[in-house]
Amino acid sequence: MGRKIKSIAKLLLVVAVIGIIVWEAIYGVGAGRKGSASRIKLGLDLAGGVSITYETVKKNPTQKEIDDTIYKMQLRVDNYSTEAAVYQEGSNRINIDIPGVKDAEVILKELGRAGAIQFMDEKGNVVLEGSDIRDAEADMYRDDLGFEGYAVILKLNDAGVKKFARATAENVGKRIAIIYDDKVISAPIVEEPIESGDATITKIGSFDEAKNIAATIRIGALPLELREVRSNVVGAKLGIEALNTSLLAGVIGLALVAVFMIIYYRIPGFAAALALCIYTGLMVLLIDALDITLTLPGIAGILLSIGMAVDADCIIFTRIREELATGKTVRSAVKIGFHKALSAILDGNITTLIAAAVLYGLGSGTVKGFAQTLALGVILSMFIALSVTKFILYTLFDLGLTGEKLYGIQKEYKPFPFAKNRIKFIVISGIFILAGAAAMIYNSISKGSALNYGLDFKGGTSTEVTFPDDFGFERNVEIEKLVRNATGSPSVEISRVEGENTLIIRTMELSLDQRELMKEKLIDEYGVDPDFISTENISGAISAEMRQDAIVAVIIATVCMLLYIWIRFKNISFAAASVIPLVHDVLIVVAVYAAARISVGGTFIACLLTIIGYSINATIIVFDRIRELIRAAINPEGDENKDKDKERKKPARVLSDTELEDILNKSVTQTISRSINTSLTTFITVFVLFIMGTESIRTFAGPLMAGIVAGCYSSICIAGGLWYILYRKLSKKAETGKES
């Protein structure tokens, strides 16, 4: 009786925790406080922000000067938000969109005029200019006595290295002043000649001061000097409707996932549903507490982490069912199930965290935002699955819910011959990939580009329209349809200028006839004064450098994941066989974009990153089971009663092809329910988003669903087959080497 009372108290504690978290998320705790959900910073696509337009002082800048300035300005504005966008407008203007802020004056004051920066010696000679500097970052260091200090690390280009080497050699023991906008921001003493591409400014008072100096150097190091033309506060690109429908879809999706988990996994599923409520609430609280700016790609990261949270539960609950099938008691099965699932959960989540860390460190803009929410979600979901779900499950057991039927017993299925059909599966994938390649070739020939690049990549036309005073901005969707029909542009973004009756309409680049037709429609339908309609061409918000950063980040992340899997599984065949399916999944998603002519925008990168993070996790589960069965086959009696030192000296037994086939077939068959269930729960959430979302949401959710299906297929049908092929070849080579 005492145990039941304690269990009831524990369950009430869980319910109370859920209540407190939900209350804090919605209403907040304390007088006058708002809930965490309402305090979350939203990106420009969801809630708007400040838009600033600069013009180059130089009348006819080269395109390279413009591109370099955009890239360096992007590094500068990343201090305000990782989701800030910088892009070209017209021939000599640069536009900056910074989400999450409403006061343009504050940003302008902090951002400052992009004036020239100079390094000057004590005689007044300019020894270094902004065009010689590649980057500047704040840093910390320890001096010879072990005390911490603050510094700025300067990175110079080739021309800058030569200039600075000469200047520092001539001014040892003297000061070189750093001057921005005719003001000295720092004047460090030259301690020794600096001949490398990196220079360090030390003995700075605080880390904040170091950050400010570095930021000022970065903006002053722009190849072009800029002056402000206009600034305003704009509304959300996707609109409040997109945000509300996304949130509602998320709630409905979570509810459906919870119902599915309860129906399929019974009592463990109920425990997972309660834990999922805690996970969702904590995710909201942490996004607010860590001051993360949430955008559509960020929401994608959260959706992925929710899928991975359920994924961990599916692994654990399947293990519990397997233990019950061997005749163990429920309590023993639960304990062993959590223990056996641990390695698979850790490996799957750590590989995803590695990817998130690299993407955050090397990516920019959308990539950083995705990486932040993904990493946070993975860490939180792992904690919830391994501790909170476990706590709730034991509590329910102690309440008397001990019957085996309430937990389910894993049925023994005849292994499907996955090894025998491995070539068929690869051929099926090849057909889809070739179809995608054919679609891209056809598009290139008939439409001029393999993919339907949207505004973020190609740029287009920006039209500023001021409406009559009585205009209602709830009609944004109606105007979007009008513009789409008038211009034929597949991509239309509409944002409102706060405090004014003005909309900024961004479309693909329009011809003169298309502009005139749109203008006529706006005048006829809404009585707009033609003098208050102005248009300019704009560049893509995702610059070539940003695309290159994203590609490099993905490549390095993939290599790091490969190395981790190689080390953990102690065999290169596992690593190679886990990375190849990632390429497969990406190619399938790209094929969908090409065949359906879906607009390729900023969410395209987020979609591909989501699939990579999702697919690697699913593949790890299959490989974990293969590793387990290999150990059992090589050492059937286990290691508990063996002398491990002697065992290590014995050469590993080479498994026969028949044994390897049997291991592969059993491994995939035993984990297939988990793979399908996890994919299904994630698919449900995204599908609801697709059904309820606006057009811009659908262009993201549609390919994501295709990627989820492709990821599930590759984990079940491709990854294991590739491992089998590679493992056999490596094993035979090793055996041949021993014989010779």
Q: Are 149 and 156 in contact (CB under 8 A)?
A: no
pLDDT of residue 605: 73
| C-alpha closest to that of 348 among 70, 561, 606 | 561
pLDDT of the residue at 439: 94
Neighbours of 531 (CB within 10 A): 7
pLDDT band at 333 (very low <50, low <70, confident <90, very high): very high
| pLDDT value at 293 more than 50 | yes
Q: What is the average per-residue pLDDT within 726-730?
A: 86
At 648 the pLDDT is: 46
**What is the spatial distance between Cα 505 and Cα 524, in angstroms, rounded to a whole number?**
17
Is the pLDDT higher at 625 or at 231? 625
CA–centroid distance for 372 within its chain: 7
pLDDT beyond 70 at 300: no
pLDDT for position 479: 84
Instruction: Provide the residue ranges of all domains of the chain, joining segments of one domain with +.
Output: 2-24+238-406, 42-113+230-234, 117-221, 422-433+544-635+652-734, 460-538
| 42-113+230-234: in CATH 3.30.70.3400 | yes
Q: Which two tokens stand for residue 323?
A: 């233990």
- The winner for highest mean pLDDT among 13-22, 65-74, 371-380, 385-394 is 385-394
Measured N-to-C along each axis, helices 267-289 and 2-26 cross at an angle, to the nearest 10 degrees, of 40
Average pLDDT along the chain: 81
422-433+544-635+652-734 shares the fold of 42-113+230-234 = no
Instruction: Identify the band that residue 79 occupies on the pLDDT scale cut at 50, 70 and 90.
Output: low
- For residue 470, give every residue at least 6 positions away whose Cβ sits within 8 Å of its Cβ, in sequence order, or none: none
* pLDDT value, residue 248: 78
Q: Residue 431: how many CA atoms within 13 Å on its side-chain side?
A: 5
Judge whether residue 611 has pLDDT over 70.
Answer: yes
- The mean per-residue pLDDT over the stretch 122-148 comes to 82
The whole-number pLDDT of residue 641 equals 45
- pLDDT above 90 coverage of the chain, percent: 19
The CATH-assigned architecture of domain 460-538 is: 2-Layer Sandwich (3.30)
Residue 232 or 662, more confident: 662
Give me 740's structure tokens.
Answer: 């010779």
Q: For the domain 117-221, what is the CATH code?
A: 3.30.1360.200
What is the average pLDDT across 173-201? 86
Contacts of 657 (CB under 8 A, 6+ apart): 728
Residue of 545, 623, 541, 548 whose CA lies nearest to 578: 623
Tell me what pLDDT residue 637 has: 61
Residue 420 pLDDT level (bands cut at 50, 70, 90) = very high
As a three-state string, the secondary structure of 480-501 is: HHHHHHHHCCCCEEEEEECCCC
pLDDT interval class at 640 (50, 70, 90): very low
**Left if phi > 0, otherwise alpha if psi is -120 to 50, otherwise beta: which for 243?**
alpha
Who has greater pLDDT, 419 or 377?
Answer: 419
- Residues with Cβ within 8 Å of residue 640, at least 6 apart in sequence: none
Specify the DSSP element, H or E, that contains 273: helix 267-289
Higher per-residue pLDDT: 494 or 145: 494
Q: Are 234 and 47 in contact (CB under 8 A)?
A: no
21-35, 114-128, 208-222 — which is least confidently predicted? Answer: 21-35
For residue 624, pLDDT beyond 50: yes
Task: Indicate if the pLDDT at residue 646 is higher than 60.
Answer: no
Q: What is the pLDDT of residue 684?
A: 86
Q: Is 90 in a helix, a strand, or coil?
A: coil
What is the gyration radius of the CA atoms in the chain, in angstroms?
29
Give the predicted TM-score (pTM) of the model.
Answer: 0.71
Q: How far is CA 56 from CA 51, 129, 647, in A?
A: 17, 17, 72
Q: Give the residue-averaged pLDDT of 591-617.
A: 80
Can you read off the two tokens belonging to residue 123? 């005689």
Average pLDDT over residues 638-647: 47
Write down the pLDDT at residue 438. 95
Cα separation of 231 and 54, whole Å? 9
DSSP state string for 34-81: PPHHHHSEE-HHHH-EEEEEEEESSSS--HHHHHHHHHHHHHHHTTT-
Residue 422 confidence class, pLDDT cut points 50, 70, 90: very high
pLDDT of 667: 93
Burial category of 144 from C-beta neighbours within 10 Å (exposed 0-12, middle 13-18, buried 19 and up): exposed
Query: Who wins on pLDDT, 37 or 19?
Result: 19
Decide yes or no: CATH 3.40.50.2300 for domain 2-24+238-406: no
pLDDT at 457 over 60: yes
pLDDT in tens, 482-530: 888 888 887 787 877 766 788 888 888 888 888 889 989 888 888 888 8
Give pLDDT, residue 512: 84
Q: Which of 183-187, 204-208, 358-362, 684-688 has the lowest mean pLDDT?
A: 358-362
CATH T-level assignment (fold) for domain 422-433+544-635+652-734: Multidrug efflux transporter AcrB transmembrane fold (1.20.1640)
591 has pLDDT over 90: yes
pLDDT top residue among 460 and 316: 316
Average pLDDT, stretch 58-62?
84
- Residue pLDDT, tens place only, 335-383: 999 998 998 888 888 888 887 888 777 766 666 777 788 788 888 888 9
Segment among 292-296, 396-400, 451-455 with least mean pLDDT: 292-296
Q: How much is the pLDDT for 663? A: 93
